[in-house]
Amino acid sequence: MMRTRPLKVALLGCGVVGSEVARIMTTHADDLAQRIGAPVELAGVAVRRPAKVREGIDPALVTTDATALVKRGDIDVVVEVIGGIEPARSLITTAFEHGASVVSANKALLAQDGAALHAAAGEHGRDLYYEAAVAGAIPLIRPLRESLAGDKVNRVLGIVNGTTNFILDKMDTTGAGYQEALDEATALGYAEADPTADVEGFDAAAKAAILAGIAFHTRVRLDDVHREGMTEVTAADFRSAKEMGCTIKLLAICERAADGASVTARVHPAMIPLSHPLASVRGAYNAVFVESEAAGRLMFYGPGAGGSPTASAVLGDLVAVCRNKLNGTTGPGESAYAALPVSPMGDVVTRYHISLDVADKPGVLAQVATVFAEHGVSIDTVRQSGRNVSSGGEAAIEQGGGGRREGGEASLVVVTHRALDAALTGTVEALRKLDTVRGVASIMRVEGE
Ligand code: HSE
């Protein structure tokens, strides 16, 4: 039976995502009503610039007073798509206090204050849904929170930032350097004027925190996520990767330790074999691998950003929350009962690809190998290519090594077996101190094997 009294929705933010949410709510109104069991009505839209013309939105609904809107008392669901920490956090909390459930796309806020927001929702018997906060349109939160609730997730490995994937894909396919690829991403609208959040990995780290928390039933905050950006990835790194049969991706990796007693979450660029499905994720697409005990390996793929895809995820949550409301129930809240410790990056077990410029003379290889052995890191492969130093080369060496040296120089590429990240870091530090190591050209983890 269709209820005739509509459920009222307040929209906070009417930018790229919010305007799409409003548009779909209008154009699909009849279908949404059938799916929910009651009509949904846009009851107010909070914006910063009220004078801006917003096609399809009744100007009478537009307000700059978001607080008054969420305090109205007749609002059933608040959709928060303004992003950032404040005023979003206060508005969401106020919405719960005044009887509304919340659908949010706010990854930064969820990664920082998810526990407190869940607690506030629980205290007031309301829903907090946020499918759109991670990987845009790709269903990921609901599969982890509901479909896999009976399984044990051991690993989540994914590309969760489209901007950086676009840049890295460009570098891979065209041989471009980082800046050139970033410039193209900016010109095409993939990268923002200030790309820091994307290229330094903050965006992906927030998503990793959210995914790890849900996957491992453990609170994982943004500060728990080890983060390295991708601004230092070079065209030379891509050439090295190709020689290994790999490409380079900015990965978010959330893992349960082998003994199951702790978890880790990290974001950094890594080499990944071309045979791995994530290697073929092109352009601005996202993809996430979930490995669980019973289900095995699952891959989720699709558009991870953009107004319409993100609005799709918001609308899915809106339907779910409205259904819950009509049924007098709420969906799953926070599940953090496992409360596993989040280990530091040094405890991660991974492989390294290290390119060194070394003096090409007897004993150097043995010296380098000894450093690896002393740190308990087992070498998988070593590849050396020698080159005689011309006068120009010597000048370069003098600048880098602080003194004129005799003889040739060689490029040494070492790929390790799996080892503790702390041991690998220690190895690299010790290598840098060797007189015969004239430079560490690149260090990259190798994942997905
Ligand atoms: N800036 C993000 C990306 C989308 O490039 O994937 C929003 O999280």
Closest residue CA from atom 7 of ligand 1: 305
Do the Cβ atoms of 372 and 434 come closer than 8 Å?
no
Find the DSSP H helices in 124-257. 141-142, 162-174, 178-187, 196-199, 202-216, 235-243
**Distance from the alpha carbon of residue 99 to the mean position of ligand 1, in angstroms:** 31
Q: What is the pLDDT of residue 2?
A: 83
Q: What is the pLDDT of residue 440?
A: 93
d(CA 420, CA 422): 5
Ligand 1 atom with the smallest distance to the CA of 286 is: 6
Q: What is the pLDDT of residue 227?
A: 98
**Distance from the alpha carbon of residue 136 to the mean position of ligand 1, in angstroms:** 8
- Ligand 1 contacts (CB < 6 A) are 161-163, 198, 203, 304-305
Q: What is the pLDDT of residue 130?
A: 98
Residue in the structure block whose two tokens are 């599969």:
143
The tens digit of pLDDT for each residue in 51-74 reads 888 888 999 999 999 999 999 999
Ligand 1 atom with the smallest distance to the CA of 192 is: 1
Residue 395's pLDDT band (boundaries 50, 70, 90)? very low
Is the predicted pLDDT of residue 391 greater than 60, yes or no?
no
Quick one: which of 72, 108, 73 has its CA closest to 88? 108
CATH 3.40.50.720 assigned to domain 7-136+308-327? The reply is: yes
Confirm whether 361 is a catalytic residue. no
**Across 336-354, average pLDDT:** 97
**Distance from the alpha carbon of residue 43 to the mean position of ligand 1, in angstroms:** 29
**Distance from the alpha carbon of residue 160 to the mean position of ligand 1, in angstroms:** 8
Q: What is the pLDDT of residue 78?
A: 98
More confident residue, 150 or 407: 150
Pocket-testing residue among 131, 134, 203, ligand 1, by greatest number of atoms within 8 A of Cβ: 203
Pocket-testing residue among 198, 202, 288, 310, ligand 1, by greatest number of atoms within 8 A of Cβ: 198
The tens digit of pLDDT for each residue in 226-272 reads 999 999 999 999 999 999 999 999 999 999 999 999 999 999 999 99
Ligand 1 atom with the smallest distance to the CA of 191 is: 5
Ligand 1 atom with the smallest distance to the CA of 207 is: 8
**Distance from the alpha carbon of residue 161 to the mean position of ligand 1, in angstroms:** 5
Residue 320's pLDDT band (boundaries 50, 70, 90)? very high
Percent of the chain topping pLDDT 90? 90
Spell out the SS3 assignment of the chain. Answer: CCCCCCEEEEEECCCHHHHHHHHHHHHCHHHHHHHHCCCEEEEEEECCCCCCCCCCCCHHHEECCHHHHHCCCCCCEEEECCCCCCCHHHHHHHHHHCCCEEEECCHHHHHHHHHHHHHHHHHCCCCEECHHHCCCCCCCHHHHHHHCCCCCEEEEEEECCHHHHHHHHHHHHHCCCHHHHHHHHHHCCCCCCCCHHHHCCHHHHHHHHHHHHHHHCCCCCHHHCEECCCCCCCHHHHHHHHHCCEEEEEEEEEEECCCCCCEEEEEEEEEEECCCHHHHCCCCEEEEEEEECCCEEEEEEEECCCHHHHHHHHHHHHHHHHHHHHCCCCCCCCCCCCCCCECCHHHCEEEEEEEEEEEECCCHHHHHHHHHHHCCCCEEEEEEEEECCCHHHHHHHHHHHCCCCCCEEEEEEEEECCEEHHHHHHHHHHHHHCCCEEEEEEEEEECCC
Closest residue CA from atom 4 of ligand 1: 305
pTM of the predicted model as reported, rounded to 2 decimal places: 0.93
Pocket-testing residue among 104, 131, 134, 163, ligand 1, by greatest number of atoms within 8 A of Cβ: 163
Q: What is the pLDDT of residue 255?
A: 98
Domain boundaries, the chain: 7-136+308-327, 141-302, 345-446
Residue 221's pLDDT band (boundaries 50, 70, 90)? very high
Q: What is the pLDDT of residue 336?
A: 98
Whether the bond into 344 is cis, omega within 30 of 0: no
Is the predicted pLDDT of residue 281 greater than 50, yes or no?
yes
Do the Cβ atoms of 102 and 126 come closer than 8 Å?
yes
Pocket-testing residue among 81, 161, 164, 288, ligand 1, by greatest number of atoms within 8 A of Cβ: 161
Residue 297: how many CB atoms within 10 A of its CB? Answer: 11
Q: Which two tokens stand for residue 315?
A: 């609308």
The tens digit of pLDDT for each residue in 171-215 reads 999 999 999 999 999 999 999 999 999 999 999 999 999 999 999
Closest residue CA from atom 2 of ligand 1: 161
**Distance from the alpha carbon of residue 116 to the mean position of ligand 1, in angstroms:** 24
More confident residue, 393 or 216: 216
**Distance from the alpha carbon of residue 138 to the mean position of ligand 1, in angstroms:** 13
The tens digit of pLDDT for each residue in 120-131 reads 999 999 999 999
Fold assignment, 141-302: Dihydrodipicolinate Reductase; domain 2 (3.30.360)
Ligand 1 atom with the smallest distance to the CA of 107 is: 8
Beta bridge partners of 349: 420
Write down the catalytic residue from 8, 107, 170, 207.
Answer: 207
Q: What is the pLDDT of residue 54?
A: 87
- Write down the CATH superfamily of domain 345-446: ACT domain (3.30.70.260)
Q: What is the pLDDT of residue 387?
A: 62
Q: What is the pLDDT of residue 398?
A: 30
